[in-house]
Amino acid sequence: MCGIAGIYNPTGVDLNEVIELSQTLKHRGPDDEGFYVANQYSAESYRGKDTIAALQQLKHISEINSNSNLALVHRRLSIIDVSELGHQPYISDDENYVLVFNGEVYNYKEIRQELKQKGHTFKSDSDTEVVLKAFIEWGKKCVNRFVGMWAFVVYNKQENTLTLSRDRYGIKPLYYYQNNNCFAFASEIKALLKLKAVDKSVSNQNLGSYLAFGTTQNPYQNLFQNILDIEPGCNYTYNLSTQKSVKENYFSVEDQLTENKESAHSNNQKFEELFNQSMGLHLRSDVEVGSCLSGGLDSSAIVYSASQQLRGKSLKTFTAAYQNKTVDESEYAKLVANQLTNVKDIYTYPEAKTLVADMDKMMYHQDLPIGSTSIFAQWEVMKCVNQNQVKVLLDGQGADEVLGGYYNFAGIHLIELLKSLKFVRFLREYTQLKKNFTPQMKNAVLRAAYYYLPKNLQQKLRAKERLSYSFIKSEKLTELGLDIPKRGGKTFDEHVNLSIQYGMYELLRYEDRNSMAFSIESRVPFLDHRLVDFVRSLPNNQKIHGGWTKHVLRKMLDKKLDDKVVWRKDKKGFVTPQQDWKNELMTSLTTELKDSDMPSLMDKDYVLQLCDKDFSNASHLSEFWRAYSVVKWYNIFNLNA
């Protein structure tokens, strides 16, 4: 896990800016630092002040005295082959290719064996060398063989191109900026903001959409006008000679999958096999691996499998706990930990005063506004992991989106039964879901039916139901003419795809930034693409069955963990005592918002009115925190300048 960056400017790059790029990303890779600097006559590797001791013979980047037009930057968090042999930028044996790579290709050992049979030799035990030699052997199509998470850039000296690639779901981040004189990329937006050439303008369209709906109009967008996301499942090629870039999709969540007609028993077995395979790959590491443990089903499955595969080794787990028992899930985490003899459970206790103390730092690391205070709870977990000196952490992101664990999925499942005229099954499933999942099943069905309404009616209903339209000045709202983003689908499969593209994509950003702020590599075993494709192919009644969501996962854990965890009925999600914290912080929040600059489209008076309001509606409370985080973000990054 690392941080990568680079800049190309035909008239010359500012090496002071290159050094600042590296320092801005230091938290992503404190273990090593490397540079590759080139012009039309020469190219060479250089060290920085944080370069590993074994490579001090390299020239320091400050010793460059010629004009250079390309610079690649790498910050390393050493996980696989922690020696100097894993140092980056990684240069091919013939010096024609240079790689900067962030992430893990978990099946690197298997790919290395295949490459050896094709005549490749290896100097290191790192996945970095495997990635570059796979690229040399198979070109951009090499990514189809990768199981893992990645953002990498390969410079091809002969073709004078940069190839930028991102994993299938966007687990690892990569952003770019391009104008007539400059092409730059980085793992985090804040690094690009350090470059004078980069236009830092905010997109009013995207910001307005985020304030009103909690997301941008289209997936894979951020709030800046000209700083763009490299999209998941894509390779981009930038030609340094022509200064043109081309995007190619190698994967899409909308790809059609073969219909699965196997029995539930057979599919349950296949799911367990694929899940344990994924866990085995995600446990590959030359440093200690720990795990989040919320007390929910997904993290409990990860901890159980890890504990079985790490026989003879201890597994540390990390849980956010609260005094407020309506949101606290630590009793379930304790049930799991106490049942597994090699698990050592560790707890952290997020509270309002820490939220105030850390808010600026957390928002800086997030790069963009946050949707709720649950992101702060995750921040506190990562802080605790760092304090316990664990560098790799497993987490359950993706399970709810893929397996249909959220509220709306149950409603969509029921509507699909009605559409198929399966009235008896509908009534039975409705009753069972009301008993096992939520008493509010009527609301779940109505929310699912909402996506069948015409777009203009959806918009009117949402405006009536939510506070967030009022965050935007009325004249600006008219000017922007915002359309409601299509976040929900009419079918189960469509809703899965949209949940991956919107909600999960945002959660992965939170996960990446919070973990990397504390120099931790976070891994998400539920997002092994083979497991995801298999689950997406399952009939809906093997995902929601007998009133139980994520049924195939519960069947896997049945008789292995306590029934109170496996067949638990009060799903909370990763929640925090948001209202308690707001009440405790009301005076300071009000003062801060009064004294803060706000984006020109925001209605400051309306936002201030909400400081005194107690929210009975959880959505309204999250909307308040979202507006507050927009103001924080705007000021932390000095976006009024």
Q: What is the DSSP letter of 166?
A: E
Q: Where in the chain is the domain with CATH 3.40.50.620?
A: 264-403+497-566
Q: What is the CA radius of gyration of the chain?
A: 25
Mean pLDDT is highest, among 68-82, 318-332, 344-358, 452-466, for 68-82
Phi, psi of 91 (to 5 degrees): -105, 135
- pLDDT confidence bin for 575, thresholds 50/70/90: low
Number of CB atoms found within 10 A of residue 326's CB = 9
pLDDT tens digits for 385-418?
999 999 999 999 999 999 999 989 999 999 999 9
Lowest mean pLDDT among 268-272, 364-368, 449-453, 505-509: 449-453
Q: Where in the chain is the domain with CATH 3.60.20.10?
A: 2-198+225-249
String of DSSP letters for 212-278? HHSS-SSTT--SBSS-EEPPTTEEEEEETTTTEEEEEES--TTS--PPP-S-HHHHHHHHHHHHHHH
pLDDT tens digits for 109-122?
999 999 999 999 99
- pLDDT confidence bin for 573, thresholds 50/70/90: low
Written as one letter, the residue type at 251 is F
Percent over 90 (pLDDT), the chain: 80
Looking at the predicted structure, is the pLDDT value of residue 615 above 80?
no
Distances (CA, A) of 362 to 23, 537, 611: 18, 38, 21
pLDDT tens digits for 113-149?
999 999 999 999 999 999 999 999 999 999 999 999 9
- pLDDT confidence bin for 569, thresholds 50/70/90: confident
Spatial separation of the C-alpha atoms in residues 125 and 253, rounded to whole Å: 32
Spatial separation of the C-alpha atoms in residues 274 and 311, rounded to whole Å: 20
Spatial separation of the C-alpha atoms in residues 256 and 625, rounded to whole Å: 38
Residue 48 confidence (pLDDT): 96
Residue 133 confidence (pLDDT): 98
Spatial separation of the C-alpha atoms in residues 539 and 413, rounded to whole Å: 11
State the DSSP H helix or E strand holding residue 90, giving kind and residue range, or none if neither.
strand 90-91
Written as one letter, the residue type at 165 is S
- pLDDT confidence bin for 59, thresholds 50/70/90: very high
Spatial separation of the C-alpha atoms in residues 229 and 64, rounded to whole Å: 31
Look up residue 77 and give its two tokens: 């968090």
Residue 582 confidence (pLDDT): 78
Residue 584 confidence (pLDDT): 76
Between the two ends of the chain, the Cα-to-Cα distance in Å is: 33
Angle, in degrees to the nearest 10, between helices 352-366 and 505-517: 110
Spatial separation of the C-alpha atoms in residues 402 and 550, rounded to whole Å: 9
Residue 178 confidence (pLDDT): 97
String of DSSP letters for 308-370? HHTTTS-EEEEEE--S-TTT--HHHHHHHHHH-TTEEEEEE---HHHHHHHHHHHHHHHSS--
Looking at the predicted structure, is the pLDDT value of residue 537 above 60?
yes
Spatial separation of the C-alpha atoms in residues 583 and 578, rounded to whole Å: 9
* Cβ–Cβ < 8 Å for 427, 435: no
String of DSSP letters for 105-163? ETTHHHHHHHHHHTT---S-S-HHHHHHHHHHHHGGGGGGG--EEEEEEEEETTTTEEE
Looking at the predicted structure, is the pLDDT value of residue 437 above 80?
yes
Top-confidence residue, 553 or 438: 553
Average pLDDT, the chain: 93
Distances (CA, A) of 18 to 68, 160, 174, 293, 389: 11, 20, 17, 39, 30
* Cβ–Cβ < 8 Å for 370, 511: no
Domain 2-198+225-249: give its CATH superfamily: Aminohydrolase, N-terminal nucleophile (Ntn) domain (3.60.20.10)
Looking at the predicted structure, is the pLDDT value of residue 515 above 60?
yes
* Cβ–Cβ < 8 Å for 195, 246: no
Lowest mean pLDDT among 270-274, 533-537, 575-579: 575-579
- pLDDT confidence bin for 80, thresholds 50/70/90: very high
pLDDT tens digits for 293-303?
998 999 999 99
pLDDT tens digits for 188-246?
999 999 999 999 999 999 999 999 999 999 999 999 999 999 999 999 999 999 999 99
Residue 548 confidence (pLDDT): 95
Looking at the predicted structure, is the pLDDT value of residue 574 above 60?
no
Handedness of CA 299, 498, 462, 454 (dihedral sign): negative
Residue 328 confidence (pLDDT): 87
Residue 612 confidence (pLDDT): 79
Spatial separation of the C-alpha atoms in residues 343 and 337, rounded to whole Å: 6
Residue 591 confidence (pLDDT): 86
Lowest mean pLDDT among 12-16, 392-396, 479-483, 629-633: 479-483
- pLDDT confidence bin for 571, thresholds 50/70/90: low
* Cβ–Cβ < 8 Å for 303, 336: yes
Span 435-444, mean pLDDT?
A: 91
Looking at the predicted structure, is the pLDDT value of residue 576 above 70?
no
Spatial separation of the C-alpha atoms in residues 12 and 140, rounded to whole Å: 28
Query: What pTM value is reported for the model?
Result: 0.95
Verify cis geometry, omega within 30 degrees of 0, for the bond prior to 89: yes
Q: Top-level CATH class of 264-403+497-566?
A: alpha beta
Span 315-322, mean pLDDT?
A: 96
- Comparing CA positions, the residue from 178, 201, 172, 14 lying closest to residue 101 is 172
Q: What is the DSSP letter of 397?
A: T
Span 459-473, mean pLDDT?
A: 82
